[in-house]
Amino acid sequence: MTSPVPGFHRILHQHRHLNKHPRHRSSCRIPNPELLISVDVLWFYARMFLYLIGLVALLALYRWYRETKRVPNISDKYVYITGCDSGFGNLLAKRLDELGYHVIAACFTEHGEDDLKKCSSKKLTTIHVDVAKSESIQKAAAFIKSKVGEAGLWGLVNNAGVSVPAGPCDWLTIQDYKQMLDVNLMGVIEVTLSVIPLIKKSQGRIVNVASVFGRISPVGGAYCISKYAVEAFNDSLRRSLRDFGIKVLCIEPGFFKTRVCNIDIMEKNVHNLWDKLPQEVRDDYGSDYVEKAVKLMKATMAKLPDPDLMKVVSCMEHAVSAVYPRTRYSPGWDAKLFWLPLSYMPTLIADYVLGRDSVKPAKAVV
Report the percent of the chain where pLDDT is more than 70.
Answer: 89
pLDDT of the residue at 66: 84
pLDDT of the residue at 26: 47
Closest CA to 253 of 116, 89, 130: 89
* Geometric angle at alpha carbon 295, from 293 and 301, rounded to 5°: 100
pLDDT tier for residue 45 given thresholds of 50, 70 and 90: confident
> Taking all residues of the chain, what is their mean pLDDT, rounded to a whole number?
89
Active site residues: 223
Report the percent of the chain where pLDDT is more than 90.
Answer: 75
Flag whether pLDDT at 188 surpasses 90.
Answer: yes
pLDDT of the residue at 133: 96
pLDDT of the residue at 46: 83
Flag whether pLDDT at 17 surpasses 80.
Answer: no
pLDDT of the residue at 12: 46
User: 271-322 pLDDT, tens per residue?
Assistant: 999 999 999 999 999 999 999 999 999 998 888 899 999 999 999 999 999 9
pLDDT of the residue at 256: 94
Flag whether pLDDT at 18 surpasses 60.
Answer: no
DSSP for 169-215, written as a single string: GGG--HHHHHHHHIIIIIHHHHHHHHHHHHHHHHT-EEEEE--GGGT
